[in-house]
Amino acid sequence: MCTRIFWNDNDVAKTAARCMDWDVSDEPELWFVPRGIVRSGHAGPDSFSWTSRHASVVTSMWGMGTVDGLNERGLAAHALYLDPEDVEFPPAGGRPSVAHSMWVQYLLDTFVTVAEAVAAIDQVPIISPLIRGEHLGVHVALEDASGDSAIIEPLGGRLVVHHGREFTVMSNSPALEKQLDNLTHYRPFGGELPPPGDITSSDRFVRASYFLHYLPAPENAAEAVAGVFQVIENVSVPSGAPYSTGGVYPTWWRSAVDLTNGVYYFGSTRSPSIFWVDVDDLADTGEVRRIDPTDPSLVGDQTANLVPAALTY
């Protein structure tokens, strides 16, 4: 499941947050990936390969790809679930490709701004291989330190790009265009309905938009980060809470990015604490580093506590 929000209309710091909702833990690991690392697209024999141009702090999922992160140039990317029946990637046409599990890493390694990433959106095909025996649909949100934003969705055999500062919220299915249409039924977005209270994707989208709209101006960067954490916590799903289908997809963790100051924040819902990593402080480090983000003892600045490690994906 999952939700993403972006607070880009305050004058203190551009901040974003997302939550990870799933029926089982995605077994997250938090990595620092330096410049100059050769990466594979994990798309089989026709995988595209590249060398990272920009250092990044990222969170991996099941040790097979990057689902969230921030690079040293102030570009952040987040992969969220989109129902597979809604998803159709453009055909690769025999070109070297990147699996959608590595899409976020490719974007962070390669680009500086949202506009730059959008301009190159069709250069490298993205494909959807089996993950744990099934096809998992995905769409991606991007934001940068200027306040620019984009949401990219593989629909109908093409990558549909919603590019602009106004695209500040994303959840799951339906696709963004239908989410925005639904939003117009609620105040203050054109309708008269109050914000809904269910945990469905559409209700989370409306509620996130509502609370983001009313965030008061922060006095400092700490308040700008705290604000997006407050909103993302409001649309998180407590452990054990079922959807109407009976399925249970709780929030396992929440992350936030301060794009202005280059800091990546993480909080496991199995811990009462939040910790953070300063991307700028690590940017010139030449080795891969790692920390277990589910360690409940982690709190505050953990930049110095990432340890050298070998990348496992």
Q: Which residues are catalytic?
A: 2
CA atoms within 13 A on the CB side of 76: 34
CA distances (Å), origin 264, targets 84, 88, 124:
29, 31, 27
Burial-class residue 310 by CB neighbours within 10 Å (0-12, 13-18, 19+). exposed
- Is the link from the previous residue into 174 a cis peptide, with omega within 30 of 0? yes
CA atoms within 13 A on the CB side of 6: 27
CA distance 67 to 71: 13
Q: 59 has which bridge partners?
A: 30, 68
Q: Tokens for 269?
A: 């819902």
